[in-house]
Structures are given as structure tokens and as C-alpha cells.
Amino acid sequence: MIYAGTTAFLTVKYGAPNNLLFTTIIQKRRLALFGHLVRMDESTDARRILSTAVPQSEWRRPVGRPYTSWMANLKNDLARHNLTLEDAIELALNKQLWRLLAASGATH
């Protein structure tokens, strides 16, 4: 388990490739996964997750879990590229273009 505040320690101890921070690596992988999900058939459960909203009144996060969801993190990543979710879905349908965008990461 990686705790907040350990990014610098992990980078120094284990040496991230090309001196990338682990947060940047995670962001790139999250964007790559998003592109993969978008290109899936719309009837698959994994793809339907992108368009399904869980009402907050019916769902509660277990005690001790982070407040930020995967989708909220994804929207923050997209905002760093000046993209909305709808724009990102259109871009992700073009695999080569999306790979370039995901590989570029974002500047922190």
C-alpha cells in the first residue's frame, strides 16, 4: 500500500523510469485504461461503467476509504489536458491519437 507523502521516498528508493514521479505513471496508466474502456463494446459491463451514475443516497464509501473516485481522478487528469469527458471519449476512439495523449502525461 502506498500512502500519501511517500511519492518522493519511493522515487528515490526504487528509481522511477526516466525520473518520473509515481503520480505521473499512475496518471498515464489511468488515461490508457480509459482509452481501452472507451473502445470496448458498449454492451460490456466495463464500458457501461463510464456512463452509469451511482446515486450518492444509495451508496456510501466504507470507513477509511479515500473520498476521491476513479472517475473524479480521471476528470482531473483530463482537465490538465483541457478536455471534458465527452471530448475525451471522442479522442479515445482514435487509438493512435489517444496513445500519444496518454503517453504525454500532464505537467504537475
What is the pLDDT, as a whole number, of residue 43? 87
* pLDDT reported for residue 11: 47
* pLDDT for res 47: 85
- pTM of this prediction? 0.68
Position 89 scores a pLDDT of 92
Per-residue pLDDT of the chain (108 residues; tens, 9 = 90+): 444 444 444 445 555 555 567 888 888 999 999 999 999 998 888 888 777 765 555 667 777 777 777 888 899 999 988 999 899 999 999 999 999 988 886 544
In SS3 terms, the chain reads as CCCCCCHHHHHHHHHCHHHCCHHHHHHHHHHHHHHHHHCCCCCCHHHHCCCCCCCHHHCCCCCCCCCCCHHHHHHHHHHHCCCCHHHHHHHHCCHHHHHHHHHHCCCC
Please, what is the Cα angle at 25 between 99 and 35, to 5 degrees?
A: 30
- Distances from the Cα of 82 to the Cα of 28, 44, 59, 60, 92, angstroms: 15, 28, 30, 30, 14
Domains of the chain by residue range: 24-51+67-108
